[in-house]
Amino acid sequence: MEQVVRRGHGAKTMIVVPPVGADEARTRWAQFAAAMTTAGLALRPTIDPASTLVIVLNGDDTQTGFYAPRRDEAGYRAAVDAAVEMLQIRTRAVGSA
């Protein structure tokens, strides 16, 4: 996490939330947010990971969540595809600035 922050990759970070119970997902997300904060990128957890399949960090203290009607392979595939597309658009926008 320190390398992600040190190299300025916070806005390029995508987290896939595993298919675990709601309490476990929330505990893991809180631990991740604390670790990122310790590494130097303070996160204000605005996403409920219990209902989220993929979380993309926005490079500040916010996140973007990607959801699907079902927590199955197709839902994860769609969420990951949408997150990757967002990251590619973001990368192109930064590269052209």
Instruction: Tell me the pLDDT tens digit for each residue of 38-97.
Output: 988 888 878 899 999 999 988 888 899 999 888 999 999 999 999 999 999 888 876 655
Q: How many domains does the chain divide into?
A: 1
Instruction: Tell me the pLDDT tens digit for each residue of 22-36.
Output: 999 999 999 998 998
- Euclidean distance between CA atoms 68 and 19, whole angstroms: 12
Q: Which domain holds residue 21?
A: 2-96
Residues 6+ apart with CB under 8 A from 1: 35, 36, 38, 39
